[in-house]
Structure 1
Amino acid sequence: MAGLDFGKLTKQSVVDSATEPRRIFAALPAKASKYARPWDVQSQVWDSWHERRTDSDLLIKMNTGGGKTVVGLMMLKSCLNDGAGPAVYITPDIYLADQVRAEAAALGLETTDDPRSGRFQAGKAILVTYIHKVINGISVFGVAGDTRQRIEIGSLLVDDAHACVSTLEHQFTLTIPRGHAAYNEISDLFDDTLRDQSQSTIRDLAEDVPGVALRVPYWSWADRQQQVLNALHPHRESTNGFKFVWPLIRDVLHLCDVAISYNEIEIKPPCPPIDRIPSLATAKRRIYLTATLADDSVLVTHFDAAPAPISTPITPQTADDLGDRMILTPMETHPGTTDEEVRTFLVEQALHRNVVVIVPSRRRAVFWRDFADAEHDSSSIHDGVRALREGHVGLVVLINKYDGIDLPGDACRILVLDGLPEAYSALERIEALALSESEAMITRQIQRIEQGMGRGVRSNDDHCVVLLVGSKLTQRLHKAGGSSKFSPATRAQLALSDQVADMLYGMPFSAIGSVIGQCLDRDPGWVAASRDALDGVTYPTTSTVSEVAVAEREAFRLAELGRYRDAHAKMRQAIIAANDDRRHEGWLKQRAAGYLHLSDPAAAQQMQKSAQTDNKAVLRPRDGVEYHRLNSLADQARQAAAFLTERYENGNDLIVGVATILDDLVPDPNQASVQMFEQAMYDLGLHLGFAAQRPERDTGEGPDVLWSLGKLAFLVIECKSGSTTDAIWRHDAEQLSHSMDWFAEKYDHTCSATPIMIHNTQVLHRQASARAGAKVITFAKLAKLRDAASKFAAALAADKAYGEVGKVSSQLTDWGLNGKVFAQTWGVAARKL
């Protein structure tokens, strides 16, 4: 007898008709056994989402390991059942898209990777793809202005939305390499206006000095749009770089930020014009799935999400489902510990467990290279992750990879973040320098750090130890309330780890190994304390979306419409919202001036002057900047004590702060570090009780750094921190001489200055001549100066001695840092070959 056809008992299955994700999940007939029932956090999110499912923009925030993929797939299946298809699940990259499709298959859900699939377009299958495929100048979904038939989207979900941001920015950035015909056309077109910004940087560009970059003034870019179009338009379909980007930015080209570096030109709009992919803009439902990061402003600035619903995210009822992390900062637990000691310790740990080190740059990767078992960048990262997940590798270095990878279980038991995340592209570096130490930049860096810290714990029963290494990273966590910018669960784990740090303080560094072992070997006391620390932690009821971000996005939208005065007015709201953060205000004023220039160039220049007053790192206005002389200070020790007392709360903060400066005061042939070196020399002067300026940066003329030593004595300093030659070339010697001429012009005969050059060697090329009295701080001498400054800080750290003028004076003398002898102590006479 044939079996009964039970399919006739129901007209339509719950799986294909219900809109409640929980009901759909429960009714899935072919799901794997591990999906027997949903987790509480999943059910809580589904129920809250279902009540608001018709909102056009929604933010879902869940801890890593909370089953976000299943949550997202069920919500999209609900959308299909609700008639809001077709449905698209977007991941940061192709590898994660493969993982999502595999999970969907285990659930018994139909997916496809083909946007042209009839099953997808009919609302029968979920398209799982990655952001690069959706957003590009020849997108299969259609681009505004082209004649191809568009593929409509009813509901879309962006998974790990914060990790998608870097790809999104890349897709809207036109990069023209040095060898491209348009490179020379564009750079020649703006040569004159770039010279007005910095003569020395123009010379470096001409000499192919790596790492150098200049921003093209917005007024020149806007005024020469016809010539720009003449240079770029013929190449619109010539290379992938053009054809994937040009259609996305051509209509906002006049609004773009532009930087010219030694190896490429970057052209990028202030905000991604996401509506260039109309299917994204017109989708009925847009769901953003993110980890529990503290700031979600990028969803507004980059995805053009509506601020109100993003500000009220959907979350589980509690945030205590995060995996176990012991977070230690060696410079806090053991202030005298060197990077080399930490490295040696981690090499030993890696003999029997996987240790993953995330570094911000290739330059920092060199520090680990001879000790690492593997090193990976974006081109090999997924092979590296696969190897870690398959077994023991050892010590693995990942370059600038803070998101988009999963390292569960034994794949990573010790995770190390070595140094602050750094900017890579020319425009990013320019912005990072301009916003250095601003609240806006601190928030970004903390968010990037938290993303990195999340790589090693991928479920609530996972565990790892996180080490935060480096003076800059340590200072960022403890200065300006940095730790308060983390999410609640991470803050709770940091607070517990601070208690561990207090217990470790004063013990030998070797003790950190046994403490780490207690965590990784699941010591019952630690496991209980870790669980207790998270108990009762909840998600904030509102998400942080800054008023600045909202105003910036709206201003860009108005500028797109040609309403430049309205865009300028909206940017004024952003400036007010910056809350007296002057560096950020200056940056925002420059953006406002850029919009205003398109309707009132004269008024825009007045605003640019105001921007430059607030932030010396922004563009100098068309008619230059008036130079203001440095005051001559009377008492170096008194000035140093006052500065250090105001800057630091305790001795350890002083040690970390000075170490941060000295980390940048290191020779490096990569010219991307030059600005950091010059800033470090400026900061060192302030710490030693001198007045300091950076005239070349601030006005386009004069030396890299100027110190006022007191009693009308000055040091005119040219920094050649990237020099590798065995002689001082003529143009470098002439540059120092020109800076001395500048000093003579700006200061009267009562003032005296000693010319100082920081260089690899004291030897002059045969065609070079040194200014009378010139001193060279060679790299060998510089190393000794760094050591002296470090010991100066360490000596003053005990009992807040840095606030006592007498003790400061003694230490300045003991370490050769007194202004009267500084040039003689650390400088040597330049000499001929």
Structure 2
Amino acid sequence: MVDTFDFGGLEKPKAGAKLTNPRDIFRARPSGKSKIKELWQGQAKALDDWFAKPDRNTLISMYTGAGKTLVGCLIAQSLLNQGRRNVVYACPTIDLIRQTEKEANAIGLNTTTYFEQNFSNDGFDQGKSFCITTYQALLITRTKFRGQRRPGAIIFDDAHVGERLVRDVFTVRISKIDHKDLFVSLLPDIEEAFTEIGQKHNFDAVMADTSAGSVALCPPNGIYARSDRIQATLQRFAGSSFEIELPLDYLKGHIGCCAVTISKNIIEFTPAFLPSMNILALEDNAVPKVFLSATVQSRGDIIRAFGKSPFVIEPDVDAGRGERVLLFGSAIPSFVSDKQHINKLSQKHKVLISVPSERSSNNWAPIVTAPSDAKAFSAQLDQFRAANTGKFLLVGRYDGIDLPDDDCRIMVVDGLPIGTSQLERYSFDRLHLDQAFFARIANRITQLFGRINRGKNDYGVYIIASRDFENWIRNVSNQAFFPKILQEQVRLSEDFCDQIKASITDERVYSIIDQIIDRDPKWVEYYNAHIGLNPLDDKKIEQRDQYTKVDDQFAKREANFIVKLWQGDIQGAIAEFEEEFETIRSNNPRLAGWYSVWIGTAYNMLGNQSAMFDWFDEARNRLGGKLPLPRRQLDEIGTIHPEKTVIEEGLRRFCIGSLPEVMKRGLKAREQAKLAFGDTPHNIAEEAVRQIGANLGFDARRPCNDVHDGPDDLWLDHHTKIAIPIELKNEKKGTAINSEEVGEIFQHLEWTRTNYKGYSVPGILVYTESSSVTDSSNPSLDMFFTNRERLESLWDDFTQIVAQMAKTTPVERYAIASQVGESDKWTSEAIFNRLALKSLKQVN
């Protein structure tokens, strides 16, 4: 008998097309397979809003713990069902790949994973599943996701950390420990670049054993001039290391466009801004991209990372509103100063310790060390999750791990989350581009706090061990960048710490932590009494919104600038910054200084030396005279001694050039200064006063604008160590300075003395047309009125000297600058006394 096959036993196809609405996909999940019974309202709203226009680039912003991963998986499956080929879901870490795969499988979705050079199955290649992989695997030049696997849609999970991850693929980092021969081979070119602009001493200082980890920017012009030789050196060694070879694929031919930084043990090559649109996975605008992010107040970092300005979906959610209390180190100083207290705490509880860098992790070596590599990280983290007690050290990571509920309830934070790259450290520590980092740091802190606190019923204790972190988070202007619930929790914590610090002991700290974790009813009552009753000042929110609006615009300019520079359109790149430079300068003068460095560098690439020097002068005007940039030189001048005084430093900016060139620079300075003497908006007058100080030779800053604290303007004389704070009340004319304003002036005077302890502060100048104070105010003797007439008179005298110098030879100009600088009339103390009209204390 013939053995026939029974075709009637085959399963017949199910009726209906594939589901494309992500909510329908969720409803169709296998019954009983998932713990998730229904979508939260915020998740459903996000999915509906996305599905209305699935082909556009979209940022879905949901608070930590609100279920972004589930939303992303449903979107990925929807895109696949719509017919999109090669849907890729990118995660920051392998640990998150596994978590995402688990969550997708739990609702019946088929997935493929790719990590450690292996695809888990053929589903992705056959168009039957989306692929979950890492950012690095997707973004490197040698990615597997090209050709037939080129993405047709991409979901970027944890997109708020995208800037760091994208920068990594463009960064060649040479460690002296790991790549000593390459490190040593690069040093002669870098040393020569410093030497030719007369700054070899800066190179020597960074390389000295006593440098304590300081970072210097290598001269951009010098790097550009030697870029071919440097590239050849890098290529000669690249074959021995993928961590050098892979990012060098992107940097080949573009070394001269890089911001190169050097420290005692690391040389780092990375673009000043990210040319993301040159990445294969990002360049195609027809490929829809979905960015999943924690709540962000600005799209700026998304734009900087991915080169895209997405449509924003931010549904209201109550997830992620878990209970948090911060124990500030200033309230428990003895406890945080002895790490054995944390060690003892970890013998009863699980404690996650966060530090920003490997260097800072060394401080914790007596009680805990960080995992040695990625595999050890995942293994030790899993062990920590499974344990009942213990400690885990998280180094320079603010994302990618979830420790909800009993997985961990205590976090120690030791250091502000900055310095993920040397360029970032240099920007923050040396250039003081604090304002450019407000949103980024707030986002990182939000993410960091979300590592141990996920759901709305979660709770945790945060021990703030470092003063820099405490000061940043307690600054009210900075708090405006946090989600509303975190703003309230910070303010609750301030109230709590203020009440306990007078009677605190180390044993009582242990007791407080135990009571909170054990859910003491009186603690719960205290916490609930504060939440929702202490909102942030609306003015701070308005200031934040204005900042983020402008920052988004700057981010687009940065992205366009570097893409054009990368592609050889140098003039087009320059235009990106020059077209809006006045707006940039008035809103963020220090960032304008950083842009000026790269406009000048671009002009150098074009061979336009005159414009290059003009922009480098602009950069020094905003960021100080120590930048590694060449100055105008003439052969007949000979050897020039270093500046001895602040005024000499100011006048030297007008020493080089023909009479018309010097007069042109002087005219430009006078035009900028005019804005300080008229009825101009407060921020414009602030910047004009800063520019006057910078032209006089001071390191002139705007702390209130730059770091959200301190006086409106600050003139620093680094030669004689004198600091002159200036508070603007330019909008006041006939009205008296009131008690609240006097209090603010006093705080800003004390802020200057606290933050510049090595400087003499003769008092604070109040720049105003008012001439009286209210009877209820109580000003101190070191608060002084100054006004337009006084400042304009000082400025006129200075510009007259510039005009006289212009008529002499360059050699004579340097002699005049030195002579004027040494005059008693032009010392910083004399300038302060000349501006000080009368004390607020004596006016009435």
Same fold (TM over 0.5): yes
TM-superposed deviation, 1:222: 2.4
Q: What amino acid sits opposite 1:141 in the alignment?
A: F
Aligned to 2:397: 401
TM-superposed deviation, 1:300: 0.9
Q: 1:487 to 1:342 in 2, by over 3 A?
A: farther
1:48-447 matches, cutoff 5 A: 48-55=49-56, 57-114=57-114, 118-142=122-146, 149=147, 151-178=149-176, 179=179, 183-195=183-195, 196=197, 198-204=199-205, 211=213, 213-235=215-237, 237-282=239-284, 284-305=287-308, 307=309, 309-310=310-311, 313-319=312-318, 321-331=320-330, 333=331, 337-338=333-334, 340-341=336-337, 343=339, 345-370=341-366, 372=367, 375-376=370-371, 379=374, 380-423=376-419, 425-436=421-432, 438-447=434-443
Aligned to 2:616: 608
Q: What amino acid sits opposite 1:119 in the alignment?
A: G
Q: 1:350 to 1:264 in 2, by over 3 A?
A: closer
Q: 1:610 to 1:503 in 2, by over 3 A?
A: same
Distance in 2, Cα, partners of 1:214 & 1:417 = 27
Distance in 2, Cα, partners of 1:651 & 1:343 = 36
TM-superposed deviation, 1:127: 0.4
Q: What amino acid sits opposite 2:75 in the alignment?
A: M
Asked if residue 560 in structure 1 is aligned to residue 633 in structure 2, the reply is no
Distance in 2, Cα, partners of 1:112 & 1:119 = 6
Distance in 2, Cα, partners of 1:341 & 1:181 = 40
Aligned to 1:40: 41
Q: 1:477 to 1:206 in 2, by over 3 A?
A: closer
TM-superposed deviation, 1:238: 4.8
Distance in 2, Cα, partners of 1:591 & 1:602 = 15
Preserved CA contact (<8 Å) 2:63 2:317: no
Distance in 2, Cα, partners of 1:262 & 1:564 = 33
Distance in 1, Cα, partners of 2:525 & 2:44 = 27
Distance in 2, Cα, partners of 1:376 & 1:805 = 59
Deviations 1:492-525, CA, capped at 9 Å, x for gaps: 3223333333443534345555444443222345
Preserved CA contact (<8 Å) 2:323 2:457: yes
- Give secondary structure in 1 for the equivalent of 2:295: coil
Aligned to 1:569: 575
Q: What amino acid sits opposite 1:99 in the alignment?
A: Q
- Give secondary structure in 1 for the equivalent of 2:460: strand
Distance in 2, Cα, partners of 1:367 & 1:234 = 37
TM-superposed deviation, 1:429: 2.8
Distance in 1, Cα, partners of 2:587 & 2:34 = 56
Q: 1:197 to 1:404 in 2, by over 3 A?
A: farther
TM-superposed deviation, 1:128: 0.8
Q: 1:455 to 1:362 in 2, by over 3 A?
A: same
Deviations 1:57-111, CA, capped at 9 Å, x for gaps: 1111112222221111111100011112321111001121122112222222111
Preserved CA contact (<8 Å) 2:415 2:468: yes
Q: 1:49 to 1:442 in 2, by over 3 A?
A: closer
Deviations 1:636-673, CA, capped at 9 Å, x for gaps: 99989999x999959999999988x6xxxxxxxxxxxx
Q: Pick from 589, 596, 602 the counterpart of residue 582 of structure 1.
A: 589
Q: Percent identity?
A: 23
Preserved CA contact (<8 Å) 1:547 1:577: no
Aligned to 2:734: none
TM-superposed deviation, 1:614: 1.0
Q: What amino acid sits opposite 2:385 in the alignment?
A: R
Distance in 1, Cα, partners of 2:45 & 2:500 = 40
- Give secondary structure in 1 for the equivalent of 2:289: strand
Deviations 1:541-587, CA, capped at 9 Å, x for gaps: 99865222111111112223322222122123266235443322211
Preserved CA contact (<8 Å) 2:303 2:552: no
- Give secondary structure in 2 for the equivalent of 1:405: coil
Distance in 1, Cα, partners of 2:231 & 2:159 = 33
The 10-residue stretch of structure 1 (532-541 or 42-51) with the greater mean CA deviation from structure 2: 532-541
Distance in 2, Cα, partners of 1:79 & 1:91 = 18
Distance in 2, Cα, partners of 1:278 & 1:406 = 31
- Give secondary structure in 1 for the equivalent of 2:151: coil
Distance in 2, Cα, partners of 1:424 & 1:628 = 37
1:798-817 matches, cutoff 5 A: none
1:773-784 matches, cutoff 5 A: none
Preserved CA contact (<8 Å) 1:434 1:618: no
TM-superposed deviation, 1:24: 0.5
Distance in 1, Cα, partners of 2:51 & 2:271 = 36
Distance in 2, Cα, partners of 1:351 & 1:610 = 56
Distance in 2, Cα, partners of 1:502 & 1:235 = 57
Q: 1:517 to 1:27 in 2, by over 3 A?
A: same
Q: 1:403 to 1:579 in 2, by over 3 A?
A: farther
Q: Pick from 609, 619, 627 the counterpart of residue 618 of structure 1.
A: 627
Structure 2 residue runs without a partner (length 5+): 1-5, 634-639, 648-715, 728-739, 765-817, 826-838
Preserved CA contact (<8 Å) 2:58 2:289: yes
Preserved CA contact (<8 Å) 2:171 2:268: yes
Q: 1:259 to 1:486 in 2, by over 3 A?
A: same
Instruction: Return the TM-score normalized by structure 2.
Output: 0.69
Deviations 1:724-757, CA, capped at 9 Å, x for gaps: xxxxxxxxxxxxxxxxxxxx99986999xxxxxx
Distance in 1, Cα, partners of 2:725 & 2:305 = 45
Q: What amino acid sits opposite 2:160 in the alignment?
A: H
1:625-664 matches, cutoff 5 A: 627=643, 629-630=645-646
Distance in 1, Cα, partners of 2:820 & 2:761 = 24
- Give secondary structure in 2 for the equivalent of 1:436: coil
Q: What amino acid sits opposite 1:459 in the alignment?
A: G
Paired residues in the alignment total: 660
1:660-739 matches, cutoff 5 A: 683-686=756-759
Distance in 2, Cα, partners of 1:376 & 1:205 = 29
Preserved CA contact (<8 Å) 1:474 1:656: no
Q: What amino acid sits opposite 1:407 in the alignment?
A: L
Asked if residue 462 in structure 1 is aligned to residue 478 in structure 2, the reply is no
Preserved CA contact (<8 Å) 1:475 1:657: no
TM-superposed deviation, 1:130: 0.8
Asked if residue 29 in structure 1 is aligned to residue 23 in structure 2, the reply is no
The 10-residue stretch of structure 1 (182-191 or 479-488) with the greater mean CA deviation from structure 2: 182-191
Deviations 1:351-405, CA, capped at 9 Å, x for gaps: 32112221223444344333x3564466543333222211233344333232222
Q: Pick from 11, 15, 27 the counterpart of residue 15 of structure 2.
A: 11
TM-superposed deviation, 1:344: 5.5
Instruction: Return the TM-score normalized by structure 1.
Output: 0.70
TM-superposed deviation, 1:437: 6.0
TM-superposed deviation, 1:209: 6.2
TM-superposed deviation, 1:628: 6.3
Distance in 2, Cα, partners of 1:581 & 1:272 = 20
Q: What amino acid sits opposite 1:351 in the alignment?
A: Q
Q: 1:684 to 1:525 in 2, by over 3 A?
A: same
TM-superposed deviation, 1:208: 6.4
Q: What amino acid sits opposite 2:615 in the alignment?
A: M
Preserved CA contact (<8 Å) 2:433 2:591: no
Deviations 1:620-640, CA, capped at 9 Å, x for gaps: 33348983615899xx99989
Aligned to 2:518: 521
Preserved CA contact (<8 Å) 1:408 1:458: yes
Asked if residue 596 in structure 1 is aligned to residue 603 in structure 2, the reply is yes
Q: What amino acid sits opposite 1:129 in the alignment?
A: T
TM-superposed deviation, 1:458: 2.1
